[in-house]
Amino acid sequence: MSSGHEGQSATPSRRHVLGAAVGAAAAVAVAGTGGYVAGGASSSSETGERQTTGRVPFYDPTHQAGIATPAQDRLAFAAFDLTGFDRGAVMAMLGAWSAASARMTAGLPIGPTETLPQSPPIDTGEALGLPPANLTVTVGFGASMFDDRFGLADRMPAGLRPIGELPGDAFDPRRTGGDLCVQACSDDPQVAFHVIRNLARIGRGTCVMRWSQLGFGRTSSTSQAQKTPRNLMGFKDGTRNIKDEQAEDLEHFVWVGEETDQPWMVGGSYLVARRIQMLIEAWDADYIADQEQIFGRYKNSGAPLTGHHEFDPPRFDAVHHDGSPVIATDAHIRLAAPEHNGGEKLLRRGYSYTDGTDPVTGALDAGLFFIAFQQDPHRQFARIQRRLGLRDLLNEYIVHRGGGEFAVPPGISGPGDWFGRALFTK
Amino acid sequence: MSSGHEGQSATPSRRHVLGAAVGAAAAVAVAGTGGYVAGGASSSSETGERQTTGRVPFYDPTHQAGIATPAQDRLAFAAFDLTGFDRGAVMAMLGAWSAASARMTAGLPIGPTETLPQSPPIDTGEALGLPPANLTVTVGFGASMFDDRFGLADRMPAGLRPIGELPGDAFDPRRTGGDLCVQACSDDPQVAFHVIRNLARIGRGTCVMRWSQLGFGRTSSTSQAQKTPRNLMGFKDGTRNIKDEQAEDLEHFVWVGEETDQPWMVGGSYLVARRIQMLIEAWDADYIADQEQIFGRYKNSGAPLTGHHEFDPPRFDAVHHDGSPVIATDAHIRLAAPEHNGGEKLLRRGYSYTDGTDPVTGALDAGLFFIAFQQDPHRQFARIQRRLGLRDLLNEYIVHRGGGEFAVPPGISGPGDWFGRALFTK
């Protein structure tokens, strides 16, 4: 009810949101003592019903949620560019984003709804009354933020140095890069959209949205409790993904450790996003046997061509009578396999997307919004993708249209902490 | 397993799909004897969990499903243009669409998955193993189909005659019109998308997709068992919508009866779609009191400004001490009310959408994909919208960017019947 004059501004003031965060902190603290239904795996495809009341704790001093969290069904993703040169404004925005995220992940609006009538609403309102449905909000920093605008030039971690163009890239600059990214995942798409909209609104005057992407269905499992979903090619891909139960894999492949050149990144990770358009009409005209050769898996069962069940390990040395390999030399499953990439793996959290039709051809613009988390994008994503981009049989049917790489700082310990605090203050 | 040579073509042959439909019919018949969990209302916003195993019967000799069916959570919508002049090809396509829809609404792929390896898959596969989640497939015909290409010129119902431009329309031709439309609604967006993709694939050579739209969250309740959801303005709109329990309203306002000039439409309805972009950034800067005046409702409770609870009937004659009306003269709730539109009502089945950001301004392209069903678009939608377009206070914040009007033929009685059969054969 305070500061009616502040409320006259067109955006919710940061002070207002941060003030609200005190209340949120209290609410979250109470919930933390036992109120959480901790992020149970959920998928409509498995049990025929799903819990949308689940809450994933926002505060965690080590890691941000939304990485090793069981993959939620829906995604709203956005990249933002910072518009000014004011380091303090960026810090204040990240503080307000953190406070708002703490509240939204607890199922609360970003601030009080009982404001003075002669002020704009603090929360935009479309998620009022909706449970958070396992909402997570994950923030990352792009390489462009580490230029000379904010005094961060000597803080850029080596993992963010440019990957450069890889074979098969055909990036649209309007869907590529950004100073910041926000990944909002929830089992309810309205809840995920609400996050992007409200963080954009809090950021007004400090950042503008550069591009955004909705994902309507997850294509990855990140928990052993989840079944592997199908991508829009009709295949189960990512069967061998890192699962959140695999603590050792998370340590070796996902979380940044003491080896980093930038201590503020310890406990963080790197997010690589790629908007991978599928040439669906061409794919749908291809023979099943050819589709199965391309992936190296059976379409119906998801089993490798050398096995009978989805989780049978592929036998890459198996040959036909004539000596030719059962899993083709350039099959996706072979080229992407850790065995052929120096043991490297990624934690994938991709989503299927569709953005209508091409106005000229009438072809569906649809595919995979690929997201992967890793300890080092050069050692992991770039290495694997360089091989895939050159040789993968799948390349005939996909085009990488955009994306970005972002350094995801560690977790937020509590109400006094915020996204990237160690980057700005230590 | 038959006709391997047919399978060599790039699209699933109609004979193949129609053949498969015999199996589907059997499966559906079995399910019909008790296997259906008939379209229970479902929403993540109400109970914290939702059923995705529900099935809505496809066959109904009177009405198509997807109209008086409790509104599912997600939408995939597409408009198609017919490319040739072959009446028989259109009939065959509608037959194949019906057979495929019968299978998909029963949770089955559109044809066998065990095909010859040297043929393209019949079903694209991304919904394999997913329950239908209350899927409905609803097909309509646009006025342009009744030109001289298919011998249907004397079959166009009067309800389809052009509405013409209404105040506030700013249509993008790339998002407007179409010879045919398909509305696929499900609680699982992957299931809804699968329908559009597979019907487009069946139609290849006969039709091309003109435009399409995903809706990520329903904005209407069509059952008394459902709570009213919030639109992206944060308001509960459509509280007074027609509900599927209101048999009398359905007869008076939704279903085409014997009064029609075209007997093939008896039992059908008219679908009006509008892509209504919301100027979200401007809206979010408006004061709450002003937002509430515009709608004529309180934002938090959804109650009319003359009441305390959402379902309190608005009292349009209530005045303040100074004699001014409590619900403004041009408030949305007043202008849209049946009391002020000759008693006319619509059955609304709208969905929130977002399609990324404007590349120039960075503003979110988001809003309401409005769908309404009615007995006569001229008597109902056009009459109401003409008033709204001229005077509605909401017009400052919305733009009608596209859409279409479609005649939705009656239901499909069984495996021998198909979308629009009476139009083509009687």
B59-96 confidence digits (pLDDT tens): 999 999 999 999 999 999 999 999 999 999 999 999 99
On average, the pLDDT of chain B sits at 88
Question: By three-state DSSP, how is residue B120 classified?
Answer: coil
pLDDT at A41: 34
How many angstroms away from the CA of A114 is the closest CA of chain B? 9
* Nearest residue, CB atoms, B49 vs list A51, A232, A354: A51
- Give the confidence band of B37 by pLDDT, cuts at 50, 70, 90: very low
User: Which residues in chain B are closer than 8 Å to A232, comparing Cβ atoms?
Assistant: 124, 126, 193, 197
Q: Is A17 within a domain?
A: yes
* Nearest residue, CB atoms, B356 vs list A52, A126, A213: A213
* Nearest residue, CB atoms, B234 vs list A49, A125, A288: A125
Q: Which amino acid is at A30?
A: V
**Interchain pair A48, B51: CB under 8 A:** yes
Closest CA to A177 of A274, A47, A291: A274
Instruction: Give which of A6, A9, A198, A216 to mutate to test B binding, by max B Cβ within 10 Å.
Output: A216
Residue B362, pLDDT > 80, answer no
* Nearest residue, CB atoms, B288 vs list A115, A208, A288: A115
pLDDT at A209: 95
State the burial class of residue A320 (Cβ atoms within 10 Å of its Cβ: 0-12, 13-18, 19+). exposed
Domain residue limits at A243 = 1-44+56-426
Q: Is A49 within a domain?
A: no
Q: Is A51 within a domain?
A: no
* Nearest residue, CB atoms, A234 vs list B11, B125, B229: B125
Of B373 and A50, the structure prediction assigns the larger pLDDT to: B373
**Interchain pair A230, B366: CB under 8 A:** no
| ∠ CA B350-B352-B353, rounded to 5° | 125
Q: Which residue is listed with tokens 């937020």?
A: A412
**Interchain pair B356, A10: CB under 8 A:** no
**Interchain pair B124, A234: CB under 8 A:** yes
Query: For A189, which residue in chain B has the nearest alpha carbon?
Result: B216
pLDDT at A426: 81
Total number of domains in chain A: 1
pLDDT at A63: 98
**Residue A288 to residue A283: CA distance in whole angstroms:** 10
- Give the confidence band of B151 by pLDDT, cuts at 50, 70, 90: very high
Of B19 and A182, the structure prediction assigns the larger pLDDT to: A182
**Interchain pair B230, A128: CB under 8 A:** yes
Residue B234, pLDDT > 50, answer yes
User: Which residues in chain A are closer than 8 Å to B201, comparing Cβ atoms?
Assistant: 281, 284
Q: Is A50 within a domain?
A: no
**Interchain pair A50, B48: CB under 8 A:** no
**Interchain pair B49, A52: CB under 8 A:** yes
Residue B114, pLDDT > 90, answer no
* Nearest residue, CB atoms, B197 vs list A131, A230, A280: A280
pLDDT at A101: 98
How many angstroms away from the CA of A358 is the closest CA of chain B? 9
**Residue A365 to residue B188: CA distance in whole angstroms:** 20
**Interchain pair A212, B74: CB under 8 A:** no
pLDDT at A207: 96
Helix, strand, coil percent values for chain B (each to nearest 5): 30, 20, 50
* Nearest residue, CB atoms, A126 vs list B209, B232, B355: B232
Residue B209, pLDDT > 70, answer yes
User: Which residues in chain B are closer than 8 Å to A217, comparing Cβ atoms?
Assistant: 188-190, 193
| ∠ CA A246-A251-A253, rounded to 5° | 90
**Residue A256 to residue A160: CA distance in whole angstroms:** 13
Question: By three-state DSSP, how is residue B7 classified?
Answer: helix
Instruction: Give which of A5, A43, A49 to mutate to test B binding, by max B Cβ within 10 Å.
Output: A49
Q: Is A386 within a domain?
A: yes
**Residue A174 to residue A212: CA distance in whole angstroms:** 10
Which residue ranges in chain A fall short of pLDDT 50?
Answer: 1-15, 18-49
How many angstroms away from the CA of A357 is the closest CA of chain B? 6
Question: By three-state DSSP, how is residue B60 classified?
Answer: coil
**Interchain pair A216, B190: CB under 8 A:** yes
Percent of chain B residues past pLDDT 70, beyond the cut: 87
